Amino acid sequence: MSSNIVIKAENISKQYQIGQIGTGMISHDIKRWWALMRGKEDPYLKVGMENDRTQKATSAYTWAVKDINFDVQQGEALGVIGKNGAGKSTLLKLLSRVTAPTTGQIKIKGRVASLLEVGTGFHPELTGRENIYMNGTILGMTRKEIARKFDEIVDFSGVQMYIDTPVKRYSSGMYVRLAFGVAAHLEPEILIVDEVLAVGDAEFQKKCIGKMSDVASHGRTIIFVSHNLLAVQSLCKSAIFMKAGTIADSGPTEKVINNYLSREIRNCIEAKWDMDKAPGNDRIRLLSARINVEKQIDGQDVIDVNTPFDIDFEFYNGVDGQGVNLSLVLYTTSGVCVFNVTTPVAKLSKGHHTSRLRIPGSLLNDDIYTIVLFLVKDGSSVLHVVEDVLTFEVLDVKRGDTGWFGKWVGAVRPTMLEFTID
Amino acid sequence: MSVTTADNEKWDINISSKTSLLDIDIKEIWRYRDLLVMFIIRDVVTRYKQTILGPLWFMLQPILTAVIYTLIFSRIARISTNDTPPILFYLGSLTLWNYFSETFGIISKTFTENANVLGKVYFPRLVLPLSKAISGIMKMLMQFVIFFGVLIYHVFVTHKASPNWYALTFPLLLIVIALFSMGAGLLITALTSKYRDLSFLVVFGIQLYMYLTPVIYPLSIASPDKQVWLWLNPLTAIFEAFKYSFLGANAGQWNNFWLGYSLLFTLVMFLVGLIMFNKVEKKFIDVI
């Protein structure tokens, strides 16, 4: 019986060694070798912990991916989502053969091309033309194939004029476009793509997504890893949601994304740390962050586009008389930066302090937002950055008589702006 | 979850951590031959970009070194090159030596220097060292032209060099050196992927090794009991044979026994290097 499965992952796990590799590790290597010589199991395969980056490591080993099984059908576009550290990138590296799994195996049918970054192998001294060939062959194309696609690639990237100039003279935009141009014209049976789309402007991203769905509709298989849920949604019919190195959910994209949002995103409107685990350093530590809303539905805080709410922080200043200010950057989960606001610099005594940002109603759009907080000294030197402090969702409300029920575009929806017809 | 192994299917790629001793997929390397060509072009083309003399620098390098060596080793240290003009002697053996030391040096850093690319994309890892060995040969052949020019001058004008038919074995000698430097380089890069200590020794080792190889002197100036020890160096017989065939019996010796020894040593070295490289290539990126 011949099935349509082109990728079959069987119990794959990947263990990484963390911390420094050096003098201390050689004793582990010797023990491991000694165990293998006696025909025993590798003693360090039993240890290792879940990959939780917020905790301090308690073992020298961690499982980035643990016991994963999945099949991919021919022509399927599979999205892989999950938070940072969930094992997405490791899974990609395993699939693209950059590294081998610690246990288990992956079987693949057909030619694979993987794009873990754009422009792999680009050499600054080589011209655009030479780099197209360099990069293309690295990605597994033959020179004949590249020659056939050459004009298309140049067209796609729009660098005709500079094609015989060394790429070190390119603007970063041209460089990326050329690199992606090569990648977009690969014709493998299986394409593995990491978040390369994070580069480039919106128009270019659109072009890339378009190109990728083109590829998918031609019966080729795509595995796409991204933070950009919208991109995953528009490209992939099915998805895998990874959490702590395992598959938390898989199935139709819609269902998996909803599950992901409800399990990973919404509950994040309050964060608290003990002093010894709090993000920061001896000069300053963030102790808690919380979103305070007046409205509640079913005992849950709910923010809609009209709700004003507060974001409260509590932090510990470790140096008496230190000039401190907080700088907050708000992002949508698709990675668009909405704004950056800062407090004035305050000379603070040693001890606990609080801070509050008021967000008025009628400012944010319906979307999911995350907060990155910079703890800054004297308004200029960053003491610490806390990523993804909080994540919250702003819900839509029934709109007036606009007649439009789709998603309202934009990172903000400032309905307080006056816009009238006389 | 139990995996039902109704596995009569044919899979093209099987990714797991298991490796047999020598599973080198020659067919796959052949499929990536265009990449090999591109790596070679990149090596040769990028070396002298933005220079006025361009590839001429390939040729100037050995001349300059040979002049310096003539001053230091011949004029000041008075190390004899027998009857052969020192500049010709050095030019010849340096052309060969530079090929070995550069190829070995760069291959021994395959993993560390290319971690960037190797961490992002798969291609048969062996393509990289192979491309270095070949681009090195191309560079060496350019330098060989200079040596050949000076040789012609000394053959017909000063009559101080007497090439013979053995010179036709040159391509074979070159292949042996290529295999030897690849084998040694692969071994070192495999051994230094996790613990870097050895790579410090390599830099120093190559310099020292030159003096153990008859590069700046003919073997015949060493006393017979010391010569035996020097023959044990697998490069000795090759260098002696090279000098014998191009410069004449004053400059080197042709010794079938030791040439056989060199060949055997090289093959073993190449095999060992290949096995070690093969063993670490799948996972080195985790520890680099």
Q: Show pLDDT as tens, one digit a residue, over chain B (288 residues).
A: 334 444 567 788 888 877 777 777 888 899 999 999 999 999 888 887 778 887 788 888 889 999 999 999 888 988 888 888 999 999 999 999 999 999 999 999 999 889 888 988 999 999 999 999 999 999 999 999 999 999 999 999 998 888 999 999 999 999 999 999 999 999 999 988 877 888 888 989 999 999 999 999 999 888 888 899 999 999 999 999 999 999 988 888 999 999 999 999 999 999 999 999 988 888 888 877
The C-alpha atoms of residue B72 and residue A262 are separated, in whole angstroms, by: 77
What DSSP designation does A160 have? G
Closest by Cβ to A105, choosing from B15, B49, B120: B15
**A286: closest CA of chain B, how far (Å):** 33
Residue bearing the bigger pLDDT, A272 or A195: A272
DSSP, residue by residue, A105-138: EEEE-S-EEEESSSSTT--TTSBHHHHHHHHHHH
Residue-wise over B177-205: b if at least 16 C-beta within 10 A, else e?
Answer: bbbbbbbbbbbbbbbbbbeeeebeebeee
**A380: closest CA of chain B, how far (Å):** 33
pLDDT in tens, A97-139: 899 999 899 999 988 888 887 788 889 889 999 999 999 999 8
And the tokens for B256? 């079938």
Task: Tell me the β-bridge partners of A310.
Answer: A292, A358
**H or E segment and range at residue A361:** none
Average pLDDT, chain A: 83
Report whether B128 contacts B80 (CB < 8 A): no
- pLDDT score of B4: 46
What DSSP designation does A262 have? I
pLDDT in tens, A362-393: 899 888 888 999 999 988 888 999 988 888 88
Domain architecture of chain A: domains with CATH: 5-264 (3.40.50.300), 270-401 (2.70.50.60)
Minimal-distance CA residue of chain A relative to B127: A138
Q: Where are the alpha helices (DSSP H) in A15-142?
A: 26-37, 88-95, 128-138
The C-alpha atoms of residue B43 and residue B40 are separated, in whole angstroms, by: 5
Report whether A275 contacts A118 (CB < 8 A): no
Pick from A126, A149, A195 the residue to mutate for testing the B interface (most B CBs within 10 Å): A126
Pick from B5, B14, B17, B200 the residue to mutate for testing the A interface (most A CBs within 10 Å): B17
Interface confidence, given as ipTM, is 0.85
- pLDDT score of A405: 53
pTM: 0.75
- pLDDT score of A43: 73
pLDDT in tens, B5-56: 445 677 888 888 777 777 778 888 999 999 999 999 998 888 877 788 877 8
Closest by Cβ to B34, choosing from A108, A109, A143: A143
Stretch 132-151 of chain A: residues touching chain B, C-beta under 8 Å: 133-134, 137-143
**B216: closest CA of chain A, how far (Å):** 36
Q: What is the distance in angstroms between the CA of the first residue and the CA of the last residue of chain A?
A: 72
Cα of B89 vs its chain's centroid, Å: 19
And the tokens for A346? 């305050």
Cα of A294 vs its chain's centroid, Å: 32
Percent of chain A with pLDDT over 90: 30
What DSSP designation does A297 have? E
**H or E segment and range at residue A207:** helix A202-217
